[in-house]
Amino acid sequence: MSGAIEGGCHCGALRYRVDEPLQHASYCHCRICQRTMGSPAGIFAGVSKPEAFHYTAGEPRIFASSEKAQREFCGTCGCHLVFRRRDGSRLSINVVTLDDPSIIEPTLHIWTESSLSWFDTRDDHPRRLQSKA
Ligand SMILES: [Zn+2]
Ligand SMILES: [Zn+2]
């Protein structure tokens, strides 16, 4: 992957650019992703350097989803774009908000303890009970 990676929310109020290659993408089946994204799972790709992520239009609304992390979303259309560790150590983007979500494919499932029995992606990717083995 080379060059700028761009994406944004559905209404266009929020746009972003990532200047570094994306790391691997994962399905996250945790309850926080399920509830904040209104979806059986979130699909996030890590940004190798959090400072390589920039909003190029708009200011996100911020929701502190746990003691350590926050979710950033569009206050107009509700689209959830970013997971960010509040200590600045990690930032992940919601893969489906990329202008071209096909540039990266999820290769891992995490927090599978709360995965929904009727949600099956039918792949053979590794599955971890939490975020790390
Ligand atoms: Zn929006
Ligand atoms: Zn999650």
Tens digits of pLDDT across the chain (133 residues): 456 799 999 999 999 999 999 999 999 999 999 999 999 999 999 998 999 999 999 999 999 999 999 999 999 999 999 999 999 999 999 999 999 999 999 999 999 999 999 999 989 999 999 887 5
pLDDT at 2: 52
pLDDT at 1: 47
Please give the order of strands across the beta sheet that includes 5-8.
5-8, 15-18, 53-57
Dist. CA 123 → ligand 1 center (Å): 31
Domain spans of the chain, in order of start: 5-114
CA of 111, nearest ligand number: 2
Dist. CA 2 → ligand 2 center (Å): 27
The residue ranges of DSSP E strands in the chain, in sequence order, are 5-8, 15-18, 22-28, 42-47, 53-57, 61-64, 69-73, 80-85, 91-94, 106-110
CA of 29, nearest ligand number: 2
Dist. CA 78 → ligand 1 center (Å): 6
Say how many CA atoms lie within 13 Å of 124 toward its Cβ.
0
Dist. CA 34 → ligand 2 center (Å): 7
Dist. CA 108 → ligand 1 center (Å): 28
- Say which CATH class 5-114 falls into: mainly beta
CA of 79, nearest ligand number: 1
